[in-house]
Each structure stands twice: as structure tokens, then as C-alpha cells.
Amino acid sequence: MRIVLGVSGGIAAYKAVEVCRLLVDEGHRVTPVLTDAARRFVGAATFSALASDPVPEGLWEPFEGGIAHTRLGQAADLVVVAPATADLLARYAAGMADDLLTATLLATGAPVVVCPAMHTEMWEHPAVTENLATLRRRGVQVVPPESGRLAGGDEGTGRMAEPETIVRAVLAALGPDASPTGFSGAVAPGVPALRRGDLAGRHVVVSAGGTREAIDPVRVITNRSSGKQGHAIAEAARERGARVTLVTASALPAPASVDTVRVESAAEMEAAIDAAARGADVVVMAAAVADFRPKVAAAHKVHGVPELVLEPTPDILAGLVARRRPGQVLVGFAAETQDVVGRARRKLERKGVDLLVVNDVSAPGAGFDHDTNEVTILCSEGRTTRVPLGSKRQVADAVLDVVVARLHGSAGGPADERPTAEHETGHTGESR
Ligand code: C5P
């Protein structure tokens, strides 16, 4: 497919070279379009040497095949801008067309993906926030920046997403046929290359984060969940071809190309999940929904120490189980600190879900707020799959492997699962 790779003038322009190379490796025809400022960071010769097409000179210079911006815009299957500086985003949001890149952006009807990169102060400026909101409203996909080292030795949010993340977002936007090699972004050594497309045509709903239950307009009851595991599942499901709705109580950035609904309380999460789950093939309740909330949230700030009267929150998963449609796969999560598998097995039966993913949150490197996790996946038929300590993305893919196996009618899980023993609750199957 034909991809225009727009590069604007930030230090992250050097990472756009890698984006270019990866997209060419995937068999795409890439035309890099550099702003004048981008050329101050990386030479056009570098891109021309790696891309399928030479870098066009500019709006005014001769272009093979006609007028550069209209030809490029019309022919493109996708335009990705990496890095997208604050200036580029402002010009694009304002509809300006004063150089070849902005003119191409206006001249295209193809999907557009922008990858902002700038200093934290600029990223947090309301002008940038509003420009991005405008672009999102117009259907532009945003691959949010990450936090880390910035130009000039600074640290903070604003660092452009890694090339692999950008390429994954581009391939997801192009559709399931866009990656002949099954590009996985090399998640980590040991992860099978890709399960790309094995959730194509499926609608997956994922919840994430810890809900916040109001005591008054200022205080909340919440828990330590970061939402990282749920967001990783949403991202993995999207990359495996699913249409994904993420209902999140976490402040983490929305994964690329995922329909994200932000909620705060259990009640809001219940409403959003119920609406999304109606036609869904899979619902993964990775959220740490508060089990209880103040019976009454005070309308005004409470002064002094309040006597809290608590009540249980609605059990969202129980509602889903009661209304589940035929073939729908329901996945619950549990965090335990002792008798982990035994308690989880009883919970799976009590809740009536198909799969229960259990975290031992007292284990080193697992559970709340870590970037790694270690889980056991229990199936209603009795099998268990141990997933060793790995990134939350690796754990996400392991959970989705079991989900996919279930959707295909094999109850147990992935083909390599070997039931070997009875565990303490009397159900067959320990594996790996
Ligand atoms: O019982 P426990 O809270 O440990 O169950 C955890 C599972 O149930 C998670 O999947 C969580 O998202 C879900 N849950 C729910 N509604 C609640 C509480 C938990 O759906 N009110």
C-alpha cells in the first residue's frame, strides 16, 4: 500500500528513519515528505536511500506525475506524521497548506495518523490539547507520546512513541492485510511472532483501571489498580484485528485505534460496559471495580471526619453473565494474596465466567502498577494455564490466546497447553 510519511521538525525526526525502514520492510511503498525544519534534523538523502520513493523537494519544485501535493494525497492509502510537532499540529488543525506536508494532509481522503512529539510544557499547553481534540474529531488517529528523555537532557511526557508502536498503529489502521510478515513490533524475545488477524471481525470490550467512588466532590474511595494490564489487552486485541472498546477508569493514554470511553465510578463503568457488551464477542473485565461505595455522596465538601455508610457496588460481571449472548466469552480478573488458585477457582464458579485471570499481587514484579505481571488463567472446564513473569503486553497476548481458542470452540486454550495434574481444588489441569 502507499504510505506518505510526513516528518516535521523535532529531534524525534531521527526515529522517523526507522519508521520508514520498518514500513518498507512490510512491503509498503513509502514516500517521505519532510518539512524544512525536519531537514535541519535529518537529511533528505537518508530517507531517499531507505524509502521506496525519493523525498519530493517541495510544493513548488517539479514532481514526477503532476502536482506533488494532490498526487501524493490522492494516491495515499494512509498518511502518518512522525514526529508531529506542536507547529505542524496547529497548522494542520487550522487547515493551512503552506508547505508540501500540510498541503498533502489537506489533499488526502486517506486515514491520517499523527505521532506528536514535543517538550512536556508544550504537550500540556491548552493550544496543543485543543488542536489535537479538533483533529481527533475529524477522525485523525493520534499515537500519544510517551514519557522519557527529551531533547536538551530534559525528562517528561512528550517523547515520540517508539517506531514499533507507530508502525503497529499504522498497520492496524490499514487493516488486517497490511502486514505480510505478521509484524509484531518485536514485543519481547520469546513472544510468538504474531497472532495478527486472529481476532479479525470480532468485537472485544475491555474494562481497565480502578474505579473512583465519590465521598464528596473532593474525596474518593479507590484502589491501587493502574489500568496498565487492561490497556495492554485492549492494544493487543486491536493489533490482532479486533474492533475494541476500552472502558477505562485509568488516566493512561488511549491505545491507538481503540474506541475509548473514560469513566470514573462503578455505576458509570456499568452503564458503559452494558452498552458496549450487547453485541460483543468477548468482554474482558480487567478493571478493579470498587466493591463498595459511600451510600450517599455529599453534594458539598465534608468538613471534619465523616461517618461513612458504605454499600456494595453493582456487580458488573454478574450482570454480564446474566445477559450473556450465545457464544460470548466472558473473562474476569481477580487479585489475591493467599491461596491464590483455590480462591480464584471458587470465584470463577461463583461468578459463572468462562475464564478467570488471577494475579498474585503479593508476588514480586506482579500486579498493581508494575510494567510486568505473572498470572494464572483458569478455564470453566477446569484447565489452568500459568503465564510466567513477563511484560503486561505478553500477559495480554497469553490471555487472548486462550480467548481465541475458546472462540474457535476448543474449550481449553492454546494448543501447547498440556494438562498434567490435579490441583488442590480437584479440577484437572496444571500446565507449563
Ligand atoms: O470479586 P472481585 O471484585 O475480586 O471480582 C473481580 C472481577 O469482577 C473483575 O473481573 C472485576 O472487573 C469484576 N467486578 C465487577 N463488578 C464489581 C466488582 C468486580 O464486574 N462490582
Query: pLDDT exceeding 70 applies to what percent of the chain?
Result: 91
Boundary-marking domain end, from 174, 203, 222: 174
Total structural domains within the chain: 2
CATH number at residue 27: 3.40.50.1950
pTM: 0.58
333 lines ligand 1 (CB under 6 A): yes
Residues 240 and 389 in one domain: yes
Residues 39 and 136 in one domain: yes
> Measured at the alpha carbon of residue 324, what is the angle toward residues 319 and 326, in degrees to the nearest 5?
175
pLDDT tens for 82-99 read 999 999 999 999 999 999
CA of 17 to the centre of ligand 1 (A): 45
Higher pLDDT, 225 or 368: 225
Residues 238 and 155 in one domain: no
Please tell me the number of Cα atoms within 13 Å of 125 on its side-chain side: 16
Residue 421 lies in a domain: no
CATH number at residue 230: 3.40.50.10300
Looking at residue 177, what is its pLDDT?
Answer: 72
Nearest Cα to 373, choosing from 246, 236, 195? 236
Looking at residue 241, what is its pLDDT?
Answer: 85
Would you call 143 exposed, middle or buried from its count of C-beta atoms within 10 A (0-12, 13-18, 19+)? buried
330 lines ligand 1 (CB under 6 A): no
CA of 327 to the centre of ligand 1 (A): 21
Average the pLDDT over 381-392 and give the result.
90
Buried b (16+ CB within 10 A) or exposed e, 194-209: bbbbbbeebbbbbbbb
Nearest Cα to 116, choosing from 136, 95, 142, 155? 142
pLDDT category of residue 366 using cuts at 50, 70 and 90: confident
Q: Which residues contact 154 (CB under 8 A, 6 or more apart)?
A: 119, 120
Residues 163 and 28 in one domain: yes
pLDDT tens for 220-278 read 999 999 999 999 999 999 988 889 999 999 999 999 889 999 999 999 999 999 999 99
Whether the predicted pLDDT of 184 surpasses 60: no
Higher pLDDT, 205 or 137: 205
Average the pLDDT over 44-66 and give the result.
89
Residues 105 and 214 in one domain: no
Looking at residue 190, what is its pLDDT?
Answer: 34
Residue 60 lies in a domain: yes
Strand-by-strand arrangement of the 29-34 sheet: 29-34, 2-7, 78-84, 112-116, 141-142
Residue 419 lies in a domain: no
Residue 424 lies in a domain: no
Looking at residue 424, what is its pLDDT?
Answer: 28
Average the pLDDT over 398-409 and give the result.
90
Decide if 131 is catalytic: no
Residues 164 and 219 in one domain: no
Host domain of residue 232? 194-407
CA-CA distance, 236 to 419, in Å (whole number)? 26
Looking up cell 507449563, which residue turns up? 432
pLDDT category of residue 138 using cuts at 50, 70 and 90: confident
Residues 26 and 110 in one domain: yes
Residues 286 and 399 in one domain: yes
| Arithmetic mean of pLDDT over the chain | 88
Residue 339 lies in a domain: yes
CA-CA distance, 69 to 107, in Å (whole number)? 7
Beta bridge partners, 5, equal 32, 80
Return phi, psi of residue 62, to 5°: -60, 145
List Cβ<8 Å contacts ≥24 apart for 122-129.
Answer: 122/86, 122/158, 123/86, 123/157, 123/158, 124/157, 125/86, 127/86, 127/90, 128/86, 128/89, 128/90
Whether the predicted pLDDT of 196 surpasses 70: no
291 lines ligand 1 (CB under 6 A): yes
Residues 160 and 201 in one domain: no
| Residue ID of nearest Cα to ligand 1 atom 9 | 333
Beta-strand pair 329-336/282-285: parallel
Looking at residue 419, what is its pLDDT?
Answer: 35
Cell numbers standing for residue 213: 467512588
Structural contact between residues 383 and 177, judged by C-beta atoms closer than 8 angstroms? no
Beta bridge partners, 203, equal 243
CA-CA distance, 156 to 154, in Å (whole number)? 7
Residue spans of alpha helices (H) in 150-296: 163-174, 228-239, 266-277
pLDDT category of residue 300 using cuts at 50, 70 and 90: very high
CA of 378 to the centre of ligand 1 (A): 15
